[in-house]
Amino acid sequence: MKIPRATPGNKTVLLTGACSGIGLEMARLLAARGYQLIVVSHREEPLHQAARDLRCRFGAAVFPIVMDLAHSKAAEELFERVGSLQLTVDILINNAGMFFFGEVADTDPTAANRMLALHVTTPSLLATLFSKGMRSRGKGHILFVSSISAWRDFPGIAYYGSTKKYLRGFANALRSELAPYGVNVTCLAPGATATGLYDPNVVPVDLAKKLGVMMPAESVAQAGLEALFNNEAECLPGVLTRAMTAAAVAMPQPVIDWIRRRGPWLKSG
């Protein structure tokens, strides 16, 4: 299925984490098909630059909102800001996120709080606030960007994997709640994707992309949007992603523990 063009009753998209990576590629794909975009990020200049590019390249109506989605009242404030634009959100894409690697005992509490807010609190409350209108109108789409780490727990990504697992479970439950009202909920669960989420000094992103270990962000964005408009429950984009997920699920816990004790990534004890 291809991404459909916007229609008068299905044209306004609220997209978080929209100025880079998967979010920016989704914005480009949607703008090219006539959707108007409310794009959100805490990075002011990259967000405004992305908005200018989308307007210039596609002639799209773009409304940038600079906001830190990791603070406690972010969802409510964003809902009010969107209301002030007098726009009806037809499609909500919860894409904003962050990543860090390391043991829980060594984690900076500030970073942990930000991740919990970005991956759990804010997307949940945005879904609560915007799904009410979708339900009353009898139509709408909500997309959550999770990860293949939602299928298996690994040391070193306890915060990241657990929050992504929450998103997957929340999306599936919300899908069952909203389906009778004509509202679709989809969970996109990519594997390693070549985005700015990774420190290029630590992870060789360009090399991983060339070797096929990491998917291009544009391919993930295309697959996720096609799954959304096809009303699919979950999307694991790419053959390698699905194979890696199956392998992770099948891997015995003693093997994971053996790798953890002997690998160079975490403290050996």
For residue 1, the tally of other CB atoms under 10 A from its CB is 11
Residue 159 annotated to the active site: no
Q: How many CA atoms lie within 13 A of 154 on its CB side?
A: 24
For residue 201, the tally of other CB atoms under 10 A from its CB is 6
Catalytic residue among 11, 35, 159, 160: 160
Residue 164 annotated to the active site: yes
Task: Give the C-alpha distances (Å, rounded to integers) separating 108 from 52, 103, 104.
Answer: 35, 10, 9
Q: CB within 8 A of 96, min separation 6: which ones?
A: 16, 17, 23, 40, 41, 69, 118, 122, 123
Catalytic residue among 164, 165, 198, 267: 164
How many DSSP H helices and E strands does the chain contain? 10, 9
Residues known to be catalytic = 160, 164
